[in-house]
Structure 1
């Protein structure tokens, strides 16, 4: 796997962790608008990173979130969870 692809996957994983962490925090601190702004920024960055990855390498999930404008690329290897770090 090339370095750019691996770097982008690591960025996506970090942003997903950040969003989950903010989500849990906001469940108990719903009036923390600074945290909400940080969550929204991380969420937007995550969507952008996923879009970039999928435009370059194909879908991250097998249904529902990304149309397949070319050939059916979901079967291309390696799949995101088969990546070695």
Structure 2
């Protein structure tokens, strides 16, 4: 086996070992538990986050935001599912 082939083999083994080691050492991305939605609601024409909160008497803005973590109130669209009751874990 030539020196160049041995070097290529050694580099390949080092790369494989480093990838495997990173998996075994627990390099994991942080995860946050997803909220649980008990009652989904489909947005109707002309509705806003404010009108929906008023319609369902949702006075706690922090809880509404927690159960709808990725909701963009400026970009609501008809048929979009939002959560009107749930657990934010």
TM over 0.5, shorter chain: no
Larger radius of gyration between Structure 1 and Structure 2: 2
Higher relative contact order (CA 8 A, sep 6+): 2
Give the TM-score normalised by structure 2: 0.29
Which structure has greater helix proportion? 1
